[in-house]
Amino acid sequence: MTVQELLAAYAAGERDFSGADLRGADLSGANLEGADLSGANFEGANLSGGAQLTFTDLSGADLSGAKLSYARLSGANLSGANLSGANLYRVDLSGATNLEGANLRGAYLYNAHLRGANLSDANLRGADFSTADLEGANLVGANLEGANLSFANLSFANLSGANLTGANLIRANLEGANLYCANLSGANLEGADLEGANLEGANLSGARLDGANLDGANLDGVIGL
């Protein structure tokens, strides 16, 4: 399917494009709101420039290496999608966006909006979330090993059982976050705000906590502190 065929069919009212092959396609600024693109191949495609993908079904889609900067994906279903190496600079993934089990390994999410998003069990290893807004996000069991979360807003996020081994959390806002049994071994938490956070059973072996705020945090059973 060509870009022209896709956009023409969408304009005519068609919404089912599941499994479409759109590798390398230029869809910058396109409006595909509410379309079914589950299992579609967008490898290396350009979906940047404010592409409208709100409430779109992209479950199981291949978006590896895709350009999604400034795209609007609020409320989209990206469960099980492959976004490894994708550029998600300032993308809007807030609200009911579902990224459960998605692969975002090495993805660029600088200053992205992920407030309230579901990232449970997602592969976020080595991803760049610096300055991203993850307030209230669900990151239960997520793999954030080596991820860059410096200056990110993770207030009231649920990171229960998450793997944050070696993660960069310098000056991150973790106020009220749930880090129950999270693995923070070797993580850099210098200047991080952990006020009121739940760190019960968390592993902080080798973590750097210089200047971190732990006022009111639950430290019961913390390992390595």
Q: pLDDT tens for residues 78-107?
A: 999 999 999 999 999 988 789 999 999 999
Closest Cα to residue 191, out of 212, 166, 217?
212
CA distance linking residue 200 with residue 8, whole number of Å? 54
Q: pLDDT, tens digit, for every residue of 41-53?
A: 999 999 999 999 9
Contact between 76 and 96 under an 8 Å Cβ cutoff? The reply is: no
Sign of the CA dihedral with 207 first, then 209, 213, and 217 last: positive
Q: Which residues pair with 183 in a beta bridge?
A: 163, 203
Mean pLDDT, the chain, as a whole number? Answer: 96
Closest Cα to residue 41, out of 63, 16, 57?
63
pLDDT of residue 23: 96
With a CB cutoff of 8 Å and minimum separation 6, the contacts of 36 are 15, 16, 17, 18, 56, 57
Q: pLDDT, tens digit, for every residue of 63-73?
A: 999 999 999 99
